[in-house]
Chain A
Amino acid sequence: MTVLFGQLFTGVSIGAVLLLIALGLALTFGQMGVINMAHGEFIMAGAYTTYVLQQVITAAGWSLLIALPVAFVVAGAMGVLLETLLIRRLYARPLDTLLVTWGVSLILQQLARDIFGSPNVQTRAPDLLTGNIGLPGGITVANNRLFILALAGGAVVALTVALRFSPLGRRIRAVVQNRDLAAVSGIATARVDRTTFFVGSGLAGIAGVALTLLGPIGPTMGTNLIIDAFLVVVVGGIGQLRGTVIVAFALGVLQATGEYLTTLSVAKVMVFIAIVAFLQWRPQGLFTLRTRSLA
């Protein structure tokens, strides 16, 4: 029972990490069809932001809290820069954006190496987040995992509310559903694209801050999770957040269960097979946005 709950919680928290990363991708990939391979490096930027802030503000708790908005802006700004310089030239060639952004990610990794050195850097987590909460029955729940879960939940709620009720959200939804019609209706699609990219990349920055609580902070930290996050978006379906949310948690639990029963390697392969099988059933993902576009 203890183990079962522990594994369930582990699965959910793997899902929360995936979700934090995939949310940003769901926005950029969903709206613009852009596969941003440099998304992982925006995560890295968020993590290094935490590190740099901690050099200035030594109190671990405060620096982490301040890092959240700062990382959002830093990663978001990098995203806007990337969008303006390169991606907007490539909207007609989405596959090429994949390759171009991969080149960008190489450059950013090397840049991180030259600025911060190739060894990993360390940040101190606030003491509150290194402990755990004991529940009856010997069950413990790690505080850092709870924090990330809350962060992911908060991001989903904030994003949903913004998309549904704010004027910007309405414009984003309009562009996702039918870009041409939105443009004809007087929406400045280029500006909406840029804003979406800012928010999507900014979310990667926040994911980076969260990851400092879990793993290493180094030049290649973004590459590990990016493929999984893309799979979440692909399986979840494009243009809607609920697919991404459901699939992120489902994959997390599937992986944790598979790993518990067998090994991590086998679990990863199992997840891949499950995804190919799933796409046989719903090739457009879990939820498909019905649009008027034929393409």
Chain B
Amino acid sequence: MTSIRGRRILAGALTLVAVAAMAACGSKTTDGNTAAGVSADISGDTVKVGLLNSLSGTMAISEVTVRDSIMLAIEEINAAGGVLGKKIEPVGEDGASDWPTFAEKAEKLIREDRVAAVFGCWTSASRKAVKPVFEKNKALLFYPVQYEGLEQSPYIFYTGATTNQQIVPGLDYLKAQGATSLYLVGSDYVFPRTANKIIKAYAEANGMKVLGEDYAPLGSTEFGTITNKVKSSGADAVFNTLNGDSNVAFFKEYKSAGLTAASMPVVSVSIAEEEVKSIGTQYLEGQLTAWNYYQTTPGATNEKFVAAYKAKFGADKPTSDPMEAAYVSVHLWKAMVEKAGAFDVEKVRGAADGITFEAPEGLVTVDGATQHIAKTARVGKVGADGLITEVWNSGQPITPDPFLKSYPWAGGLS
């Protein structure tokens, strides 16, 4: 009795599926009714832009500060009269440290809010998740964080460093200091793995030895074994691509094992001023970081930026590289729009090449071909006050080369 009833319902449901599928297929023609090219809503006297950062979850630690600096840039622009006579209206969304959520929110910003551009994302995974969304809808994303390169989407502007503006100069510095062997430690995700591939290729071409390579899952806080391995390798330096919480545990362990900046320096590429604060100078003093910007970078533009940021968000809040890159990205977008004379995405992209901006880190120039920006590379040392002071810089902005085409040793990488 029961089973017959069940089967009947099952059959009914299956028929429904079949009918629905057929109905759907019947209407399936490529009649030009595609999602592509949702244009921004510029009908009012404001223009909307999207802010897409994690305000909750594990990445909130870093991404909230980026959101803050984007807001600062928007306020500055609005105070100066806006863009093409329109005030910028920010629409914020929370990516919640979850990549599919990033994709969902990006779609919402583009299609429901009809924003002119989106600023945000931090992790490579979140960028990879939203990339198809921006390409499908032909909308613009400004991505403010240093990353692993090997990417060039027509609808993304990369305002952080690519590998040849951060990792390669960092290696050049180590080589100049006489390091001949390296140990690689990183979190287990795309950026460290790709970065380490590049480092290994560089090392091979430059007569350096890579003595070991270890990855810890994101969020891992147990570094006893890795530190043992690092210590017994006797490498000249450690190249650290760990992200987030893991750095705290790694440096505490590193110091306990009796390793110091003098005996085996660590070059980090994901530790900025904010992270220094949460790890503690007790563990970090004297260690190296590679970036394009430090709070201590000299120049009147930076002094103004630091003062404005501290006035708005608190005197104890440091400024850092990704925050600066996010701040710059809003100003660059404004310059592009004004050069193009329109908010239209294709026109903005067309106007991008050669745009310059006097940024806190110094003069930056947009490279239209790669949609990255030319930046000065810097290596700095963590001081007792928790700030990072520059010990070396590249002297002039380095032209972005996301696929490392101009480096012969990188031939096999992409």
Contact = CB atoms under 8 A, between A and B. Distances in A.
Interface of A: 2-3, 6-7, 10, 13-14, 17, 113, 118-125, 130-132, 134, 140, 142-145, 213-218, 220-221, 224-225, 255-256, 259-260, 263-265, 268
B61 A120 contact: yes
A259 B249 CA distance: 17
Contacts of A132: 256-258
Contacts of A140: 257-258
B15 interface: no
A221 B222 CA distance: 12
B341 interface: no
Given A118-B60, A120-B245, A214-B249, A260 B228 contact: yes
A47 to B, nearest CB: 12
Interface string B215-240: 11101111011101101100000000
8 contacts: A120-B279, A130-B256, A132-B256, A221-B221, A260-B229, A263-B215, A264-B225, A265-B217
Contacts of B60: 113, 118
Contacts of A214: 221, 249, 252-253
B346 interface: no
Nearest to B188: A265
B153 interface: no
A5 to B, nearest CB: 10
A193 to B, nearest CB: 32
Contacts of A119: 61, 274, 277-278
Contacts of A134: 258
B286 to A, nearest CB: 14
Given A130-B282, A145-B256, A215-B248, A118 B224 contact: no
A260 B225 contact: yes
Contact of B228 (A10, A17, A255): A10
Interface centre among A14, A118, A225, A265 (most CB of B within 10 A): A118
A132 B283 CA distance: 14
B249 A143 contact: no
Given A120-B278, A120-B279, A140-B258, 20 more contacts: A6-B231, A6-B232, A113-B60, A119-B274, A122-B279, A122-B280, A125-B252, A130-B282, A132-B257, A132-B258, A213-B252, A216-B221, A216-B278, A218-B61, A221-B245, A264-B188, A264-B214, A264-B217, A264-B222, A265-B217
A237 B64 CA distance: 44
B97 to A, nearest CB: 10
A252 B216 CA distance: 16
Given A124-B282, A218-B245, A264-B217, A6 B256 contact: no
Given A10-B228, A14-B224, A216 B282 contact: no
A264 B216 contact: yes
A13 B224 CA distance: 9
A214 to B, nearest CB: 6
Contacts of B278: 119-122, 216, 218
Nearest to A267: B225
Interface in B111-152: none
5 nearest CB pairs, A to B: A10-B224, A142-B256, A120-B278, A216-B248, A215-B221
Nearest to A17: B222
Interface of B is mostly: helix
A7 B58 contact: no
A64 to B, nearest CB: 13
A268 B216 CA distance: 11
Interface string B256-288: 111000000000000000100111101100000
Contacts of A220: 58, 219, 245
B255 interface: yes
B252 A215 contact: yes
Contacts of A3: 228, 232
Nearest to B228: A6
Most chain A beta carbons < 10 A, residue from B188, B214, B232, B278? B278
A142 B248 CA distance: 16
A143 B253 CA distance: 11
A263 B212 CA distance: 12
Nearest to A127: B282
Contact of B64 (A118, A145, A217): A118
A123 B188 CA distance: 27
Nearest to B222: A14
A191 to B, nearest CB: 37
A264 B218 CA distance: 11
Contact of A10 (B220, B225, B252): B225
Contacts of A259: 225-226
Contacts of A263: 214-215
A130 B256 CA distance: 5
Contact of A256 (B215, B224, B231): B224
A134 B225 CA distance: 18
Contacts of A217: 248
Interface string B47-71: 0000000000010110010000000
Q: Quick one: which of A7, A124, A216, A218 has the most chain B CB within 10 A?
A: A216
B256 A143 contact: yes
A221 to B, nearest CB: 7
Contacts of B255: 130
Given A119-B277, A216-B249, A131 B232 contact: no
